[in-house]
């Protein structure tokens, strides 16, 4: 599923126009990107958590030449799926909390 297909489904499910669904999706994605880029964590209960993580510097190898090269440290986005999302993908019902 790509972005336009997701917008179509959202518009149909929420009974809104495609333009409104596109605006809502774009603003949500923008808010998540802005928050994670500032170092904040975005948690959507049942869906998952978006956060930033630091990746240490390391040594890599050029597969074509075998030459070793340094890969700089960087910060990357991470997504961790929530329990309900994992259960849905696995085809199981989400376990209820006691």
What whole-number distance in Å separates Cα of residue 40 and Cα of residue 64? 39
pLDDT one digit per residue (tens) for the chain, 98 residues: 999 999 999 999 999 999 999 999 999 999 999 999 999 999 999 999 999 999 999 999 999 999 999 999 999 999 999 999 999 999 877 566 55
Domain ranges of the chain: 1-40, 41-92
Collapsed DSSP state (helix, strand, coil) of residue 37:
helix
Provide the CATH number for the domain formed by 41-92 in this structure: 4.10.520.10
What whole-number distance in Å separates Cα of residue 84 and Cα of residue 98? 15
pTM over the 0.95 mark: no
Contact 52, 35 (CB under 8 A): no
């Amino acid at each position: 599923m790509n972005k336009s297909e997701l917008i179509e489904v959202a518009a149909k499910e929420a009974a809104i126009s495609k333009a409104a669904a596109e605006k809502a999706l774009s603003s949500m994605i923008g808010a998540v990107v802005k928050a994670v880029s500032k170092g904040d964590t975005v948690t959507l209960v049942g869906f998952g958590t978006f956060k930033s993580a630091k990746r240490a510097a390391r040594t890599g190898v050029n597969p074509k030449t075998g030459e070793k090269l340094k890969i700089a440290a960087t910060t990357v986005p991470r997504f961790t799926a929530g329990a309900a999302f994992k259960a849905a993908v696995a085809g199981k019902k989400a376990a209820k909390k006691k």
